[in-house]
Structure 1
Amino acid sequence: MSKLKLITFDLDNTLWPVDEVIRHAEKTCSDWIADNHPDAAAALSAERVRAVRTALLKEKPQYLDNLTALRQDAMSRAFVEHGFSEPEARRIALDAFKVFHTARNQVRFFPGARAVLEQLANHYVLGALTNGNADLQMIGIDDLFAFHHSAETIGKRKPAPDMFAAALRDASVTPVQAAHIGDHPLEDVHAAREHGMHAVWANLVEMDWPVELERPSHHILTLEEIPDLVAQLND
């Protein structure tokens, strides 16, 4: 049996809880618009943004592969529909997104995350695979990862195999030499094992496993369990 060489991690809800982060980032963004462009603030009610996002996704489902473009274009369209010119709407939307993105990367790690990553990075190649738009450099853990692939950089979101295939190529390993750790039953666990990798369900936000999917062979409730689990996978 081949020894484990590569460990890939999902990010949101795997290394940190994300819901509160996004809520805070959206409020920070809304407050910035209200302070700097009060005439545009009325265009960005929660209901309006949801309606615009829904319309954009209906027109172009590929937006799910690029959440940055979706958020920027949704704000831009909301401003245009509120009476702004397209260039002005775009300028405000891009400036507002920078504010959102800065706040979006102010995360609070699950207990033990940094220590576990540092320990693993001494023995394995680490990679990040995410459908979101977290920035490892802004978060301060980019030094621990050999690579970071996202739906935006690859062009396809998990559970499509593209991101996993890119990880295996980058690390020059076979699927049985790789393990993926993530919170999402379909996009992380099922997708990784379909690709032939070891799959670990990181259930740190107390989800229920969907009945339609085969239960995972490995699951953790805290990140501190990972080193022992990895040792088991290697035996």
Structure 2
Amino acid sequence: MARLKLITFDLDNTLWPVDAVIRQAEQTTRDWLLERDPALADTLTRASQAALRDQLMAAHPDYHHNLSALRRDTLVEGLKQAGYGEPEARRWAADAFEVFLEARQQVTLFPDVVPTLEQLAGRYQIGALTNGNASLARIGLDHLFGFQHSSESIGRGKPDAPIFLAALASAKVRADQVVHIGDHPNDDVLAARSQGFDAVWANLLEMPWPEPLPADTPTLRSFADLPALLEQLDV
């Protein structure tokens, strides 16, 4: 009898590469702002926004669990430094963040993601666990997933336990019936194992072997290989 009942996936750098997506979304947001106020070019730079994000994160570590709030509030602070009053800065930042969020969903999936998920959906429950603000609904993959939990929706992100426990509650399964697949050695693989899940390191980006991972960690390099890999784990 099959043991595994649920597969949970990380999203960024697991189902799609994300770095170029974020850079483009940031540029799209900046362009949107400069169209409305060209004078912001001198004050709302990439470097100044990065510095503000670091300052906010250092002062308020809870931003680690809400990257959307961090990005909005960074825009607010940048606009205030540019001379905008608080109410106007918040209005502009809210609108600019929606521009960012829409652009942030323009991802290109790794090869074979959709056919593989379609194949697996007939046998397993499938869920998503992410620390980011990607939206499966906006991307168009939500029909293949039973649930999506994020650090924002749960209030704590990976590697902490609550987001993994939320997956068990949503799927009504035990920890030993779950395999989690993600690209981050600690937040995905080791964290999932600490909760009693099986775990697979997603190395679609062909990264060097991460030192924290045991040498026998199951590794996914192509989504076309995932069904066979799960068969090997499902004993």
The match for 1:217 is: 217
Aligned to 1:199: 199
> Any conservation in 2 of the 1:159–1:186 contact (CA below 8 Å)?
yes
| AA aligned opposite 2:223 | L
Q: Is the 8 A contact 1:181 1:202 kept in 2?
A: yes
- Note if 1:159 corresponds to 2:159: yes
C-alpha deviation, 1:2, in angstroms: 6.1
> Unpaired segments of 5 or more residues in structure 2?
none
Using a 3 Å threshold, how does the CA distance of structure 1 residues 138 and 115 change in structure 2: closer, same or farther?
A: same
2:124 corresponding residue in structure 1: 124
What is the CA–CA distance in structure 2 between the aligned matches of 1:210 and 1:7, rounded to whole Å?
A: 23
Q: Distance in 1 between matches of 2:109 and 2:43?
A: 33
Q: 1:1-235 counterparts in 2 under 5 A?
A: 3-235=3-235
TM (norm. structure 1) is 0.96
Separation in structure 1 between the aligned mates of residue 39 and residue 95 of structure 2, nearest angstrom: 15
The one-letter amino acid of 1:49's match is Q
Secondary structure at the aligned position of 1:44 is classed as coil
Q: 1:189–1:216: 8 Å Cα contact kept in structure 2?
A: no
Q: Distance in 2 between matches of 1:101 and 1:199?
A: 29
State the Cα distance separating 1:223 from its structure 2 match: 1.1
Q: Give the whole-Å Cα distance in 1 for the aligned partners of 2:99 and 2:148.
A: 22
- Name the CA shift for 1:126/1:104 in 2 (closer, same or farther; >3 Å): same
Q: Distance in 1 between matches of 2:152 and 2:228?
A: 33
Taking the aligned partners of 2:76 and 2:182, their CA distance within structure 1 comes to 33
Give me the CA root mean square deviation: 1.3
Deviation at 1:216, TM superposition (A): 4.8
Distance 2:189 2:127 in 1: 16
Taking the aligned partners of 2:104 and 2:213, their CA distance within structure 1 comes to 31
Matching residue's letter, 2:163: M
Residue 125 of structure 1 deviates from its aligned partner by 0.6
Amino acid at match of 2:78: A
Instruction: Report the alpha carbon displacement of residue 37 of structure 1 after superposing the two structures with TM.
Output: 2.7
Q: Matches of 1:88 and 1:152 in 2, distance apart? A: 25
Does the 8 A contact of 1:200 with 1:216 survive in 2? no
Match of 2:11, SS state, is coil
Q: What secondary structure does 2:126 align onto?
A: strand
One-letter amino acid of the counterpart of residue 187, structure 1:
D
